[in-house]
């Protein structure tokens, strides 16, 4: 028998659907008991079980009405498998206790028999096979006579009219308690350089290990995933929404969205951090007060590079140094970066500047600073130093007056984005007493030590904006080379 009930005036869209299993699970007495001295008791018991099974089936419609419907849940016996959110199944047990003929009940004179009946109801999610809730209706009856199978069955079936039968509001409360989510995992996979162009995937998984009640074609939970700086490609905004069935059946148990990174240059604070927040925004047919499920802070790369310079002059000198954790941020549009004035730095209240920024200098023009070294003096770390002639040594001067520099700039003198790189290298028989070389791209020293690089190549510029590895090999007329590598960190 099938029954579908929708209360008048209540929309059925997005309501959770419950199907009552029409089969009643029971247990009959085994055949060996039919051969015992009390075989009659067990014969009546098994007959009673048959009557209760038939009576339960005939009362499915009444049971459905007793459970009821509300705006969020309905009993729907005709729901397709893809629409079923929950299943309510029942089992029945009876423990009969009858005294043999000629035996009196000392505790309760005149009572010859007692019967304990119990219905167990189990609310289950058919997608996960997870038990959502359990209910019990039971009673014990006594009698001065042994009851027939029909009499026992009538007493047992009266329990289906008991107030203990779960109603729709109670069932909804139990589902709500289980479908109230407070944990998940949020992960990002893709290029970690935040330049406003790179894309990756943000994946949500592990919502309470499993969401519950999410039928393939009838979701009961809605979520919103938010970010603070970048945007989701699907919506071209900082949020994207999904329903529980998309999460459960799509992944399974996960869902991913294409994410476009923010541009570090657009932010002054917390440049390397993107905060993703997952909230539950709906349950059943309506919205709910937002419930935080999970927050996750993902670290992005704001152009942090190890910049290595390898100078090689065969037979003369070989030196390799590195500036570590240099922030390189080169926006597409330099007109949007903060601009300071030279006079801003002439008093005690000097502004705290963060790359990229520009300084407007009277009678000169605009200087753009697109990188920043960790070391204020821009002193590189030595990887290797090797002199080419016997008895000679190499060293790098590290004082405040030393000619060490690593800076991506744009100036009126050189109106292209370029790298000013130099390290104050010396060669001599004893450290502290020798010839200054000062190798670099913008050196005032002889051509043998200078490797002019007036403008960063377009392909390298694009890689730096994308947070990718780049390399440039320069040479001069003296046959020396300077290889510069940008290694993202």
Identify the pLDDT of residue 437.
86
Kindly tell me if the per-residue pLDDT of 350 is higher than 90: no
Burial 115-127 (b: 16+ CB within 10 A, else e): bebbbebbbbbeb
Question: What is the helix (H) or strand (E) element at residue 459, kind and residue range?
Answer: helix 458-465
353 vs 53, residue with greater confidence: 53
Identify the pLDDT of residue 443.
58
Q: What is the assigned CATH class of domain 16-178?
A: alpha beta
Q: Give the pLDDT confidence of 62-110 residue by residue, as tens digits.
A: 999 989 999 999 999 998 999 999 999 999 999 999 988 777 777 778 7
Q: What is the dihedral of CA 98, 100, 105, 109, to 10 degrees?
A: 90
97 vs 33, residue with greater confidence: 97
pLDDT band with cut points at 50, 70 and 90 for residue 402: very high
pLDDT band with cut points at 50, 70 and 90 for residue 33: confident
What is the CB neighbour count within 10 angstroms for residue 96?
A: 19
Kindly tell me if the per-residue pLDDT of 23 is higher than 70: yes
Identify the pLDDT of residue 3.
36
Mean pLDDT over the full length of the chain: 89
Q: In what order do the strands lie in the sheet with 273-283?
A: 239-243, 221-227, 273-283, 286-299
- Please write down the HEC assignment for all residues of 91-118: EEEEEEEECCCCCCCCCCCCCCEEEEEE
So where are the chain's domains? 16-178, 185-299, 304-330+370-488
DSSP string, 281-303: EEETTEEEEEEEEEEEEEE-BSS
Kindly tell me if the per-residue pLDDT of 265 is higher than 80: no
d(CA 70, CA 6): 9
Q: What is the pTM of this model?
A: 0.70
Kindly tell me if the per-residue pLDDT of 1 is higher than 50: no
Identify the pLDDT of residue 106.
72
Kindly tell me if the per-residue pLDDT of 451 is higher than 80: yes
CATH of domain 185-299: 2.60.40
Identify the pLDDT of residue 158.
94
d(CA 95, CA 409): 90
The mean pLDDT of 101-125, rounded to a whole number, is 88
Q: Give the pLDDT confidence of 427-450 residue by residue, as tens digits.
A: 999 998 899 988 999 756 666 678
Range with the lowest mean pLDDT among 104-113, 283-292, 317-326? Answer: 104-113
Q: Are 276 and 201 in contact (CB under 8 A)?
A: no
Chain position carrying tokens 């039919």: 34
d(CA 419, CA 385): 23
């Amino acid at each position: 028998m099938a029954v579908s009930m929708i209360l008048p005036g209540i929309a059925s869209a997005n309501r959770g659907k419950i199907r009552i299993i029409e089969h009643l699970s029971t247990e009959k007495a085994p055949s060996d008991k039919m051969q015992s001295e009390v075989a009659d008791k067990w014969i009546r018991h098994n007959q009673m079980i048959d009557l209760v099974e038939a009576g339960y089936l005939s009362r499915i419609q009444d049971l459905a009405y007793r459970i009821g419907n509300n705006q969020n849940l309905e009993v729907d016996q005709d729901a397709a498998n893809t629409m079923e959110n929950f299943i309510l199944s029942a089992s029945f047990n009876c423990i009969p206790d009858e005294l043999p003929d000629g035996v009196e009940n000392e505790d309760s004179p005149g009572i010859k028999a007692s019967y304990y009946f119990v219905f167990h109801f189990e609310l289950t999610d058919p997608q996960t096979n997870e038990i959502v809730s359990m209910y019990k209706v039971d009673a014990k009856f006594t009698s001065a006579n042994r009851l027939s199978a029909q009499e026992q069955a009538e007493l047992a079936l009266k329990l289906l009219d008991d107030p203990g039968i779960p109603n729709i509001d109670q069932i909804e409360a139990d589902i709500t308690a289980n479908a109230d989510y407070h944990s998940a995992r949020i992960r990002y996979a893709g290029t970690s350089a935040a330049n406003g162009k790179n894309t990756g995937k943000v994946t949500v998984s592990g919502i309470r290990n499993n969401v519950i009640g999410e039928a393939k074609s009838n979701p009961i939970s809605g979520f919103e995933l938010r970010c603070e700086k970048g945007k989701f490609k699907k919506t071209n905004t900082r949020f994207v929404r999904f329903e529980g069935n998309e999460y459960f059946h799509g992944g399974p148990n996960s869902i991913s969205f294409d994410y476009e990174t923010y541009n570090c240059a657009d932010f002054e604070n917390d440049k390397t951090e993107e905060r993703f927040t997952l909230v539950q925004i709906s349950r059943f047919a309506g919205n709910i007060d937002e419930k935080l499920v999970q927050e996750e802070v993902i670290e992005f790369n704001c152009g942090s590079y190890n910049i290595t310079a390898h100078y090689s002059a065969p037979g003369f000198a070989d030196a390799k140094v590195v500036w570590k954790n240099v922030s390189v941020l080169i926006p597409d549009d330099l007109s949007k970066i903060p601009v300071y004035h030279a006079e801003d730095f002439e008093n005690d209240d000097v502004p705290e500047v963060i790359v990229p920024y520009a300084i407007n200098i009277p009678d000169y023009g605009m200087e753009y600073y697109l990188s920043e070294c960790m070391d204020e003096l821009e002193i590189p770390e030595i990887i290797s130093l090797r002199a080419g002639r016997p008895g000679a040594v190499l060293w790098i001067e590290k004082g405040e007056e030393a000619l060490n520099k690593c800076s991506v700039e744009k100036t009126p003198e050189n109106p292209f984005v370029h790298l000013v790189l130099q390290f104050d290298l010396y060669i001599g028989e004893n450290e502290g007493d020798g010839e200054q070389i000062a190798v670099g791209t913008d050196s005032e020293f002889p051509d043998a030590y200078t490797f002019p690089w007036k403008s960063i190549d377009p392909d390298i510029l694009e890689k730096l904006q994308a947070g990718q590895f780049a390399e440039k090999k320069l040479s001069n007329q003296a046959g020396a080379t300077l290889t510069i590598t940008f290694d993202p960190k």
